Copies of this chain bind each other. A is one copy, B any other.
Amino acid sequence: MPTTRLDLDRIHAARRVIDPMFLNTPMYRCDALGRRLGCAVSVKVETANPVRSFKARGTELVASLLASAGRTAVVCASAGNLGQALAWSGQRRGLHVTVVASRQAPAAKLDRIRALGAELELVDGDFDMARERAVDISRERGIRLLEDSLDIETCEGAATIGLELVDKEVPFDTVLIALGGGAMATGMGYVLKTLAPQVEVICVQPSGAPAMTRSWHSRRVITTESTDTIADGVAGRRPIPEVLDDLLAVADDAVLVRESSIMAGMRLLLEQTGLVVEPSAALGVAAVLEDRDRFAGRHVVSVICGSNVDLDSYRQWVHQ
C-alpha cells in the first residue's frame, strides 16, 4: 500500500457525503473505439451531471464540511470546472462561493460559473495568477480557500472514481488519467495502488503544459514559464510539492502528448462513442494514439473527466 496523504476509510466515507447524482457514473467498454486504437478501451464517463465534470465529487465534500461547521463562504481559483462544481455544491448548502479564474478561460465555463450563482472574479494572466488572487481574497475576507489538488477533499473526491473502477468485475490493465494539478491522479492512483496494485496508473499531460510530468520524472518540482495547450483544464505551471510527493508514490508513468493527438482523441471519442469531451478528457486516447505498441492488446480505462467546451472551438478542433 502506497503512503500518501490519502486514507482509504476517508475515501469510503466520502461516498456517503457526495450527492449520489455524481457517483456510480457510467463505465463501459467501447469496442468501436478499441478497434481504432488497437486495444480494449473502456470509458468512465464523468460528464453526465449538472456540472459536466468529475469535480463535484470533491466540492461536495468541501461544501458539506463547511456547512456543517457553520461557515458561510468559500473561495477557489479554477480553470473552470472546479469553480462550477463548487458553485453547484455551495449553492445547495447556502454558501457564498467566489471563484477566481483567468480571463482566458473558456467562455462556456465562465458563463456557467456565473449561472450557478457564484461570484466570479477574472484576472489577467493564467490559472496560477488566479491562484494568487484567490489566496488574497481568502485572507482579506477571512474565508476558506479551496485549493485544488492540495486540499485533501479534492483528492478524496476524485479517489471515489477509483473505488468505482475496482468494484467492477471486468479486469483491466491500465488506467489513463488526465494530469493537471494532480487531484485525480493522486486520488485514483492511491485507490488503485491500494486495492488493485496490478493496474498500471499512467498520467497524461499535454506537451504544452508539462510541469507536473517533468516534475514526476525529475522527482522534484519543476515549474514552467508559460503554458500553451487547448487543454485548459490541466494547464498549470507550478506543481504543488505535497501533490508531487503523492504522485511519485502512486503513478507508474507520466507521459506528454501533442495538441494534434488531443484533437484526434476528441474526434475519435465523438465519432466512436458519441461523447462531446473537453480537451483534457481526450488525453488518455491521445496517449494511446501516440504509442499504440505500448497499449496493443491491453485493456485500458480512460476517464472522461469533463465536457465543458466552447462549441465553436470544439468544432474547429474535431473538424480539422
In the complex, identify which listed stretch (A19-27, A94-102, A230-238) lies at the interface while the others stay far away: A19-27
In the complex, identify which listed stretch (A176-184, A190-198, A242-250, A267-275) lies at the interface while the others stay far away: A267-275
Which A24-64 residues sit within 8 Å CB-CB of chain B?
24-32, 35, 45, 47-50, 52
How many copies of this chain?
2
- A50 x B31 contact (CB < 8 A): yes
A71-114 CB mask vs B (1 if < 8 Å, else 0) is 00000000000000000000000000000000000000000100
Say if the beta carbon of A205 comes within 8 Å of chain B.
no
Contacts of A307 in B (CB 8 A): 274
Contacts of A275 in B (CB 8 A): 48, 276
Given that A270-B311, A274-B308, A311-B271 are known contacts, is A28 also in contact with B49, CB under 8 Å in the complex? yes
**Minimal beta-carbon separation of A124 from chain B (angstroms):** 27
Given that A47-B274, A52-B274, A308-B274 are known contacts, is A26 also in contact with B29, CB under 8 Å in the complex? no
- B32 x A115 contact (CB < 8 A): yes
Contacts of A308 in B (CB 8 A): 274
- A28 x B21 contact (CB < 8 A): yes
- B26 x A26 contact (CB < 8 A): yes
- B276 x A270 contact (CB < 8 A): yes
**Minimal beta-carbon separation of A115 from chain B (angstroms):** 6
Minimal Cβ-Cβ distance residue in B for A318: B311
23 A-B residue pairings within 8 Å (CB atoms): A21-B26, A21-B27, A21-B28, A24-B24, A26-B26, A28-B49, A28-B50, A29-B50, A30-B50, A31-B50, A31-B115, A32-B112, A35-B115, A48-B48, A48-B275, A52-B273, A52-B274, A270-B311, A274-B276, A274-B307, A274-B308, A275-B276, A276-B276
Given A26-B26, A47-B274, 14 more A-B residue pairs with CB atoms under 8 Å apart are: A21-B27, A28-B49, A28-B50, A29-B50, A30-B50, A31-B50, A31-B115, A31-B116, A48-B48, A52-B274, A271-B311, A274-B307, A274-B308, A274-B309
